[in-house]
Amino acid sequence: MTKYPVYVRGIATEPKVALTFDDGPNPPRTEQLLRILAESGARATFFTMGKWAERFPRTVERVLAAGHLVGNHGYSGQGCIGDYDEAEAVIGHLTGTPSRYLRPHTFNYEAYFQSRISRLPESFTIGRDIDADDWKTTDPDIIVRAVLDHPSLGPGSIIVLHDGAENEEAAIRLGRPLPMLAALPRIIACLKERGLWCVRVDEMTLAEPLFWAAGAATVALEAHDHLAPRANALTKT
């Protein structure tokens, strides 16, 4: 049975955490996020959807110009075979370099690992150990607590937040990130108080991966796989 590595955190000996943002670019919300990151001196990773990168290329360029990392988050968010290869044709063209860091949309590993790019030796599949579920709340305080009170939070944590949405309806796409934007300055400030610095995923040393294999029984190593098929599983070996 072929197993594929999934990196869910960095090593615990470096005082670093990775803020990661999914489902953008989403102007003007992504630009608002960039201002917050600049004011706090934080660097982040943006897992970008191909259809939005195609529609809003200038926002991707702004993300890159601000020194952040752009990763591949699929093209349509529909879990189609080849979705990440299609996204790469757009994202790689904008960044000028092949994507090395990718994240399955809704953590659907089954669909994701059917794309050729996901299985390349130079590709890193990035999961997370903290998911704030910010996409389903309108209360910034809930998002703050979901991150800062999470039992896994510490050096090496990879935190998932959202600056966009896969939804074509502009009102949803523009409204969904607002609570996260209100929560983020407090999150970054508290992380700094704890001696944790916000870096890109390529600026931290990744810990040993977990592994996904098709057809394996579901385990609770990734407890927030919302919408992912329950055939998905991550194991230590």
Tokens 């502009």 found at: 170
Structure tokens at 54: 């195609």
Structure tokens at 182: 């209100």
> Is there a catalytic annotation at residue 22?
yes
Spatial separation of the C-alpha atoms in residues 146 and 140, rounded to whole Å:
10
Active-site hit among 22, 129, 134, 225? 22
> Is there a catalytic annotation at residue 163?
no
Nearest Cα neighbor of 149 from 192, 178, 106, 191 is 191
Active-site hit among 68, 73, 105, 162? 162
Which 8-state DSSP code applies to residue 13?
A: T
Could you please report the per-residue DSSP string of 50-97? Answer: HHHHHH-HHHHHHHHHTT-EEEE--SSSS--TTHHHHHHHHHHHHHSS
Using an 8 Å Cβ cutoff, are 133 and 150 in contact? no
Helices (H), the chain: 29-40, 50-55, 57-65, 83-95, 109-112, 140-148, 170-175, 178-193
Could you please report the per-residue DSSP string of 205-218? Answer: PBPPPEEE-TTPPP
What residues act catalytically? 22, 162
